[in-house]
Amino acid sequence: MTDVLRRGRAALAFSFFAQGVAFALLVTLIPAIQDRYGVSDALLPAFLAAVPVLAGVGSVCTEHLVKKVPPSRVLRWTQPVVLLALLGVGAGSHMVELGVSLAVFGLAVGSLDASMNMLGVSLQRTYGRSIMLGFHAVFSLGGMVGASLAWVGEHWDLTLLVSYLPVVAVLLPAAFVGSRWYVDGRPTEKEPDTAVAGAAGGTIAFKMLLPLCLVMCFAYIGDSTVSNWSAKYLKDVLGSSAELATVPYNVYMVTTLLGRSIGDFGVRKFGAVAVVRAGALVAAAGFAVVAGAPGAWVGMLGFTLLGLGLCVLVPQTFAAAGRLFPGASDAVVARLNIFNYVGFLIGSALVGALGDLFSYRGAMLVPMVLVLVTLVYARSFETQPDRYGGGHERPRTADVGRGSNGL
């Protein structure tokens, strides 16, 4: 591989890392944000729901924006906006300032997520082998770093501004300098472009993309179940202490990082279909263990399995979309990214509603069933001629598309 590709891959990986840190710093300090601005428990869900809704809007806008400017340029300018919006959350003192900061954060993060994954998909196509899981592994690492920094802030009773300012001061210039090396890939001349017209909005294209949209949605329903309900489930259902109840999400993040770190090797050796099927089965087993756990430690085993299983689904769904629509991957990645936020919204509300109406044990079986539906759509992750796996890697190419050295 050329130095251009290596630098592009490293720069994009840092962008994923910075986004993981920023997002974790926002969501893990929600109680502190609520206290600072005096947001009531009744009003808090509206603020939290607004972020993914606006992120979906940002993703839609990005689909149209990248028709005129390359994704690298979109990413170069939206990442600083996300970081500055995070700083705005920490610096404000009135509820209207919080609302504006979260609105800007939501719109920018939708565009950021879409453009990051556009570049990841195109760079993977240029490499001719699976590297997408590695980018998401770095995002998970950033999430762990951000959560740890949030713990430090809470432990030392730091203000939000003091917690956020040093992080933004380091990440913002580093991300901006690194953005000089982003690489915008493009399909090679030998690759078919038959999906371009359909990807612009045709019925056939939607039918082709729909299975991946459902998988993305189901994966995020599972992920949001863990992030929103693991602590409550362990404490209220399995009878753990408050301290132990904080452990499952950390375990989930660690196993997510581990699974994504080795996932690309599994895709190269066994193919994407096998990896996705294995991930779905492991995740379903994790939900089953959680639902039937007699105590807290068995419950944590279930959340461990969930991290190992769910971690492969989202990166591989983005990669599959790029293979399915080789001539219009930017557009389909932006559309697919919307179902990230749809799943997040549904997951947190669904488990809570079912838990209140029936039982939280039974509620855990619903995401289990949805994850198992992924098995039905597993063949969508294998599309010729761009198949990754044992004996199916494409020859590596030096076609790196257009760079982003200009503003």
pLDDT, tens digit, 9 for 90 and up, residues 113-166: 999 999 999 999 999 899 999 999 999 999 999 988 988 888 899 999 999 999
Looking at the domain that runs over 192-393, which CATH code has it been given?
1.20.1250.20
Give alpha helix (H) positions in 38-185: 44-65, 71-91, 95-127, 132-155, 160-178
In eight-state DSSP terms, residue 180 is G
Degrees to nearest 5, angle at CA 125 with 19 and 370: 60
Ramachandran sector of residue 395 (left: φ over 0; alpha: ψ -120 to 50; beta: rest): beta
> What is residue 37's predicted lDDT score, i.e. its pLDDT?
95
Q: What is the dotted CATH code of the domain comprising 1-179?
A: 1.20.1250.20
The answer to whether 43 touches 95, Cβ cutoff 8 Å, is no
**Is there a cis peptide before residue 80, judged by omega within 30 degrees of 0?**
no
For the chain, residues with pLDDT lower than 50 are 187-204, 385-407
268, 393 Cβ separation under 8 angstroms: yes
The per-residue b/e assignment along 326-342, b for 16 or more CB within 10 angstroms, e otherwise, is: bbbbbbbbbbbbbbbbb
* Residue-level pLDDT at 195: 44
Residue type, 78: T
Domain ranges of the chain: 1-179, 192-393
- The CA-based angle 310-316-319, given to 5 degrees, is 160
pTM for this predicted structure: 0.88
Domains 1-179 and 192-393 share a fold: yes
Q: Using the structure block, give the residue that is written with the tokens 């994923």.
A: 16
Alpha-carbon span 344 to 221, nearest angstrom? 6
